[in-house]
Structure 1
């Protein structure tokens, strides 16, 4: 098997730039900002984000159930208090504007968003934020995975969070962290 290409991911600085580029006076812009924050905090796939329903998020405990992810498997991810607070506020604003919605992210007519529109939106805002890398929803997933592996040093935990059935799929992230490890050791006491 050939070496898999290491995926593009955002630095913490780029993540801040991207999140801060939205003008949240406008509801759709606010919705998109929340979506990007949720991508960065859960590593959901694009299809999983589009299909995410309010009933699958426990806004008290932070348990988020990914229903029928890739391969038809459900999985649980946990989200922290900061993003939970953002989601609670967003849900109130969404209900004020659109009434009660089944899906977390919808159009102004309460329809599910389409994947091309989300891809375009992420690309547009990344450019506005001055990020020169090519950014897609999958880049945000890679960013989550890389940050999670850095923080936990636990590849099995990352595998579970991403919903990978095969650990070899998750192993691409070890290259990123290994390269940083190598650089750190090479530059130690220089």
Structure 2
């Protein structure tokens, strides 16, 4: 170990705590983010713990607390009217247009993630019961059934009918159509490119992605249900209701409403 590390480990607890608190203050003065400060403090604490195990020191830094991290999640998206403009860019007289239209409707109507769509196979789609079996995020090999809207079922069936070809149950529900990858499963990156292409054609200035559409759909659902987070949780499939509350908080304009009220008092 370097001499300065050993010197630090050999300090008395009061001295060591003082050194680390000064180090923490310097990190904050530098303008480092709370999470960065906490990571560096954690590294020092790990060093001390290892030193205790090896008998190089006899104190602990447990009383030194990290900075409180306030996470911000950007859940902004586009409204239904704007998304409709994106849908209109799909030329449904072509095979690619039919596929893209079905994919976009599924992204919006069920707020699916791009990897969830990429993993879909023909056997997962049941037009009769209007359901789709989805391998959800963080669920390992466990799948769940989600209900589909009538228009989405019709769009997917139209795409599959036009595509023809491989009807194996394990065949991808959405496949690539370019010469090099024709018939292969559409990747998450491929889905992202489709979203970006049609969004740009629609003149959307906001940076779009499959997850941005998911944000848009969840926010639109909260608006349509007057903020019924438990009902919308069935759509978003968030395990933690607090995650969905972030969407509800971000869509609200409570602070502006209160400010306008106060501003109009005199």
Give the TM-score normalised by structure 1. 0.85
Residue of structure 2 in register with 1:43 after alignment: 111
Aligned with 2:137 (options 64, 69, 75): 69
Describe the superposition over 1:40-84 as per-residue Cα deviations: whole angstroms up to 9, x where unpaired: 111111100001122222212222221243332433321121222
Structure 2 unaligned spans of 5+: 1-68, 262-266
Asked whether the equivalents of residues 76 and 161 of structure 1 are also in contact (C-alpha less than 8 Å), the reply is no
Residue of structure 2 in register with 1:115 after alignment: 188
Give the 3 Å change call, closer, same or farther, for CA 180–147 of structure 1 in structure 2.
Answer: farther
1:28 aligns with 2:96: yes
Q: Distance in 2 between matches of 1:58 and 1:31?
A: 17
Displacement, 1:180?
7.9
DSSP 3-state at the match of 1:69: coil
DSSP 3-state at the match of 1:110: coil
Greater relative contact order structure (CA < 8 Å, 6+ sep) = 1
Describe the superposition over 1:105-140 as per-residue Cα deviations: whole angstroms up to 9, x where unpaired: 012332111222221221121111011101000011
DSSP 3-state at the match of 1:23: coil
DSSP 3-state at the match of 1:66: strand
DSSP 3-state at the match of 2:133: strand
Aligned with 2:85 (options 4, 9, 17): 17
Residue of structure 2 in register with 1:144 after alignment: 217
1:133 aligns with 2:193: no
How many residues are paired up?
A: 186
1:100 aligns with 2:167: yes
Give the 3 Å change call, closer, same or farther, for CA 80–4 of structure 1 in structure 2.
Answer: same
Alignment root-mean-square deviation, CA: 2.6
Asked whether the equivalents of residues 59 and 84 of structure 1 are also in contact (C-alpha less than 8 Å), the reply is yes
Give the 3 Å change call, closer, same or farther, for CA 27–57 of structure 1 in structure 2.
Answer: same
Q: Distance in 2 between matches of 1:93 and 1:141?
A: 27
Displacement, 1:3?
4.4
Aligned with 2:243 (options 165, 169, 180): 169
DSSP 3-state at the match of 2:253: helix
Structure 1 unaligned spans of 5+: none
Give the 3 Å change call, closer, same or farther, for CA 61–181 of structure 1 in structure 2.
Answer: farther
